[in-house]
Structure 1
Amino acid sequence: MQRAAKDPEPGGWRWRWRPSPLRRRSDVVEAWVLLTAALLMVAGGLITGLVMFRVSQDAAQDQRDSRHQVTAVLTEDARHHRSDTVYSAPNTEYDWARVRWEAPDGTEREGTARVSEDSRKGSTAQVWTDDDGRQVVEPPAGALAVLQSALWGLLSAGVFVSLVLLLTRAVRAVLDRQRAAQWERAWAEVEPRWRRKTP
């Protein structure tokens, strides 16, 4: 005759919820801590990720609203420049030139712009500036903006979940110390009586 399925092992998480003379108050506290942590990691991580995604999207939109393309005039011929930095593909070749443009307040600003290889002094190029006319990088748009926002959302959710895990581990460590102290006190009471009964 086949035996019935056994109850979960005592080390499983469900035993903390079942009435038992061996269950301690700290076991019940730990059960609630684990349940709360699981809910926080799922719901809190999701909410944190979505909020950061939305914040990042709003920030990208603010950048697109506050940055503008203006026409600049080259003050020199295009010059060949090889870039081997981590921000570009190895051995990628670009043509750059010094350019000048007019800020909203009428003052002239200067900077460097990426241009076509046949650009000559006096020709024009497009540069990105902020509302004060300072040169800035092109704001993220389209799929790039969505990808950046998604990465920020995932990173934020990961940080939140990690913090919950660390806090849960700290609480369980405190509970373990309390249980060890309770065990030592109980053994200190029982051990002398047990020793007297042992021949």
Structure 2
Amino acid sequence: MSSVAPLRELISRLVPGGQARLIDVFITALLGVAGVFAAAAGIQAVLRMRAEEAEGRAGLLLAAPVSRVRWLGVNLVIAAASTVVVSGTAGTTAAIGLGLSGTVNGPAGSLVPAALAHVPAALVFLAAASVAFASAPRLSIPVGWGMLAVGLVLGEFGELFGLPVWLQDVSPFRHSSAMPVESFDPAGALGLAVVAAALTGLAAYSIQRRDLTA
């Protein structure tokens, strides 16, 4: 029992949870990590455009009646779908595992919405990566992955490292609902969605104002 208490304390510092049961805190932490993977999947899908541009395929594509904004939009839709698929799969897997374990912890099906609660934060990262690609394509790969790394450290481990709250709040992950420990926060999700939409608009504007690069 002595080894369980430190584990609970460590996991509780990674996610807010008050007096939640260990299993709740552990699942919340796992779904938070899945949210990071969802953001990574979205960023990877966005940065495929950089590979297409560097290899000359984008020029051939845009020589057809396809606008740059449409090209960007299609790739962003694919990226957003990737984040949903990764998050949904994580929630489904967690629900199945919980069901097979026989652990009584509320409806296992609630873990799918809990995983999807991290999608808005993931959308902010892929939208930010699209801005980097649209404005500074040669730097888009290090910038895109660098933003995710910083967001991971600040949002998931900021409290563990004793970082200031205002600095932790820079990360979109800090504004995701930590379900099932917390209840869903519609305002937080809406705020993240608005930020993602604004960044997407900025990317659409920027990509029309630059030349294709190799």
- TM bucket, shorter chain: 0.3 to 0.5
TM-score, L = length of structure 1: 0.33
TM-score, L = length of structure 2: 0.31
Q: Which has the higher helix share?
A: 2
